[in-house]
Amino acid sequence: MDLKKKIRRLPEFKGVVFWDITPLLRDSKAFKEAIDKLAEHYRGKDIDVIVSNEARGFIIGAPLAYALEVGFVPVRKKGKLPSKTVQLNYQKEYEKDVIEMHEDAINKGDKVLIIDDLLATGGTAKANAELIEKVGGKVVGLGFLIELEYLGGRKLLEKYDAFSLIKYPTTNP
């Protein structure tokens, strides 16, 4: 199945080209294939836990954790988690942001796979990796449903093993 055909391109959503995954999510066969292909890529690799950022990252990360039979840890925006947290301040393209996870979510030495729906400029993925490393986890990879190659986000992630299922080299498919 050509999963790219299940991604909707919206040229002017909030002033940017937006790659909408909701048609893929709505199609049970396409969604299953996307998760199965990601699982196939990561199956057999030494992973203790998957970490994903809210909210679209959860949609990809949680079923992948289930498929790989590993734990799942959510990373959220500041103030959304109920227990004691560890946080990281980082610079996004246009603003500063803060992400948090429970301080006991990652054990020292845990092998962590970070999963998100989209790699754009790489800032959020890098912040997630830094948060994992801050608590003593080892980032063994970063996986994405979609990579917007034309934004060069992979440059920020050079020290990590990154994988993308669907790649867009330009804004016009």
Catalytic residue among 54, 93, 103, 130: 93
Q: Do 164 and 147 meet the contact criterion of CB atoms below 8 Å apart?
A: yes
Catalytic option among 9, 33, 56, 154:
56
**CA dist., res. 65 & res. 57, Å (int):** 12
| Annotation says 95 is catalytic | no
3-state secondary structure 59-120: HHHHHHHHHHCCEEEEEEECCCCCCCEEEEEEECCCCEEEEEEECCCCCCCCEEEEEEEEEC
Told to judge if 56 belongs to the known catalytic residues of this protein, a careful annotator would answer yes
Q: Which residues are catalytic?
A: 56, 93
